[in-house]
Amino acid sequence: MSAAPIHLAGERLMLDPAGALFWPAQGLLAVSDLHLEKGSSFARKGMLLPPWDSRVTLDRLALVIRRWRPRTVVALGDSFHDVDGAARLAASDAARIEALRREADFIWVLGNHDPKPAADIGGQFVRECAIGPIVFRHEGKPGAVGEICGHHHPKAAAPARGGPITRRCFVLGSERLMLPAFGAYTGGLDVTHPAIIGLFPRGGRLFLLGRERLFTFALSPARA
């Protein structure tokens, strides 16, 4: 699997095709929008989905942790789909999180879906996390610099032989990086939506997720 190197705030970062970010100088792995227990949340509302989304998401997270061997994992908010999500975890999934926490220190950034610390999960819960010149937060703030955020679940369409294909993507600008949603049951918002392009008024680069590599395209500046 081929990661893509980028630079933000003078720091070299690696974008993983699985949708994770690795910061070599800090031994830090970041993911966003896991939305664990989204399936069970929908089931309580009568919308039945296969109940294995948390297992699939944690399996994917375990793979990227194994690949990069980070000292710290930062989860950029909406790690659980609602405030009761952690309590609904299957015992095996809760044990999986505990096992992953033995491999790295976990920092859970609070999001709009999980605005309070989850009980019995462990790790550190914060509103945002500043490390060196970079700040990690769930939702991007206009005017911020050196920011890594999530929240919007960015996706983009790319030309292909059989017609355009849509993929989750990283969005990189001069001052911030937006991560794609990592969770198994997460949709996406097109990068041309005002909520996203408004954070990248001068445009930037898109890195679409592929099976083994990333595909990069220019993001045009916002129209006046």
**Per-residue pLDDT at 161:** 81
Whether the model pTM is above 0.85? yes
Q: Name the percent of the chain lying above pLDDT 70.
A: 94
Measured in whole angstroms, the distance separating CA 75 from the mean position of its chain's CA atoms is: 7
The residues near 110 (Cβ < 8 Å, ≥ 6 apart) are 77, 116, 117, 125, 126, 127, 138
| Predicted confidence (pLDDT) per residue in 144-177, tens digit | 999 999 999 999 998 878 778 899 999 999 999 9
Going by pLDDT thresholds of 50, 70 and 90, the confidence category of residue 29 is very high
From the number of C-beta atoms within 10 Å of its C-beta (0-12, 13-18, 19+), residue 44 rates as exposed
CA distances from 66 to 14, 56, 223 (A): 15, 15, 42
Please give the biggest Cα pair distance in the chain: 51
Amino acid at 99: A
Q: Show the beta-strand stretches assigned E in 117-188.
A: 124-126, 128-131, 134-137, 147-149, 154-158, 165-172, 176-178
Q: Where are the domains of the chain?
A: 4-219
Give the domain 4-219 fold. Purple Acid Phosphatase; chain A, domain 2 (3.60.21)
